[in-house]
């Protein structure tokens, strides 16, 4: 009739092992859930970055094309404007020569900066 009371004695070694095993299983389950959530989050971030990179690239290429057309219009306008002053044939020579001179100056400046940067980086690597 009477139910046997629960023992209040400390758990045995076997009981402790089962509890520890259960705790480890719960921990592994939680770690697995966390890892799956993190993978899903990173996949979502990568998909977003991919979509944004595509639209950024399209906008960048469009802007570069429009800048190119604007520069060509400027060059044609310079040839036409100089054509009235020095003649059309001479203006077709002067405008590209001036543009090439500016390009050469910019390229030489870039080469100098690149050499200085490489010398600084190589000197820093050798000093370490």
In this predicted model, what pLDDT tens digit does every residue of 15-47 receive, in sequence order?
455 688 888 989 999 999 999 999 999 999 999
Q: Is-above-0.85 flag for pTM?
A: no
Mean pLDDT of the chain, nearest integer: 85
| SS3 category, 33 | helix
Identify the pLDDT of residue 127: 62
> Backbone phi, then psi, for 11, in 5-degree steps?
-65, 155
CA atoms within 13 A of residue 57's CA, in its CB half-sphere = 6
| CA 20/CA 26 separation, integer angstroms | 10
Alpha carbons 24 and 30: distance in angstroms, whole number:
10
Domain locations in the chain as residue ranges: 13-127
Contact 81, 98 (CB under 8 A): no
């Amino acid at each position: 009739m009477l139910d046997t009371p629960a023992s209040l004695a400390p758990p045995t070694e076997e009981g402790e092992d089962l509890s520890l095993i259960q705790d480890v299983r719960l921990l592994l389950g939680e770690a697995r859930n966390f890892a799956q959530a993190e993978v899903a989050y990173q996949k979502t971030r990568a998909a977003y970055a991919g979509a944004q990179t595509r639209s950024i690239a399209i906008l960048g290429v469009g802007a570069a094309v429009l800048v190119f057309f604007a520069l060509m219009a400027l060059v044609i306008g310079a040839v036409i404007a100089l054509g009235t002053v020095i003649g059309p044939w001479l203006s077709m020579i002067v405008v590209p020569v001036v543009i090439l001179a500016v390009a050469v100056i910019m390229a030489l400046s870039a080469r100098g900066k690149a050499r200085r940067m490489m010398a600084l980086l190589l000197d820093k690597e050798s000093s370490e």
